[in-house]
Amino acid sequence: MSYVNNLKVFVRVVDLGSMSAAARDQRVSPAVVSSRIGELEKHLGVRLFNRTTRKLTPTEHGAIFHKGAVKILDTIEEAEAAVADIARNPRGSIFVAAPLGIGRRLIAPLIPDFKAAYPDIDVRLRLSDRKVDVLGEGLDIAFVLGQPADSALRMRPVLDCARVLCAAPAYLDRHGHPADGAALVRDRHHCLLLRFPGTSEFNWTLVGPDGPVRHEVTGPYESDDGDVLTDWALAGCGIVNKPLFEVAHHLRAGQLEEVCRATPPPPVQLACLYPHKRYQDPKIRLFIDFVTTRCKAAVDRLLRGG
């Protein structure tokens, strides 16, 4: 900004006809005005003013430079005004990604209210349980479950989601009701696995008396869609590991029953990821604030069945 400030001082000196008047106008000392004019003249390699004891007038170079400086300052002022207007009245598109269950039950229901509050902002929602490449896919925000490994992104925690292992009564009648993680592995229960290409093994972390323990689980059913796993669990195909709010209504209705109560899975953190520079965009901040402040209430409603 120092060069811009030098331009502002120069233009005011030309407009007001003296350095002292420009100093008062810019609320700086005459010495500062003289120094800034000197910096410009050194940078340009020309003299900008003809100085006499009673008069200060621009040289031919100074007059030409004055016209250009006015245009530059006008353009900067217009750009700043446009940014300020966007900050007051944000507009444009936001590209958001979320896991299927989170997106369908928490994020998507909030978007109409956000759109009503900010009609000039469009939200482009992409739902997938696969790991997304935020930077590579041009996303502004990605909601994730668990601790992400990508250190190039900023993370804002949203809330901790309780998890539960559950299965349909029909499955439990056939295969038994595992009390803990050890029984889950020992009795070779059918675990419904959320898998993606390249996954070689699968572990469920469960919390026992001595703390978290990783259990290598197996099963004949796997998918990259978490809602498909829920459907399979309802059909009696096996045991599913899900955020509680996603299956709470099935548990209340008796369609699913909790298992491994002695060693439940730990809560999983819901967070939003975003590139650091994108957060400077007012509409990105608005959307993140809007969703994160409403997610807990949305989860509570799902848990209560409201």
What φ, ψ does residue 224 adopt, rounded to 5°? Answer: -95, 15
What φ, ψ does residue 215 adopt, rounded to 5°? Answer: -115, 125
Residues of the chain with pLDDT under 50: none
Quote the pLDDT of residue 138.
82
Quote the pLDDT of residue 243.
92
Tens of pLDDT, residue by residue over 20-33, are 888 887 888 989 99
Tens of pLDDT, residue by residue over 88-99, are 778 888 899 999
Contact 235, 249 (CB under 8 A): no
**Exposure pattern of 145-156 as b/e (b: 16+ CB <10 Å)?**
beeeeeeebebe
Contact 272, 141 (CB under 8 A): yes
Contact 11, 70 (CB under 8 A): yes
CA distances from 75 to 4, 61, 225 (A): 12, 21, 51
Domains and CATH numbers, the chain: 2-88 (1.10.10.10), 92-159+269-304 (3.40.190.10), 163-266 (3.40.190.290)
pTM for this model (two decimals): 0.66
**Exposure pattern of 247-266 as b/e (b: 16+ CB <10 Å)?**
bbebeeeeebbebbeebbbe
In the structure, how many helices (H) and strands (E) does the chain have?
11, 14
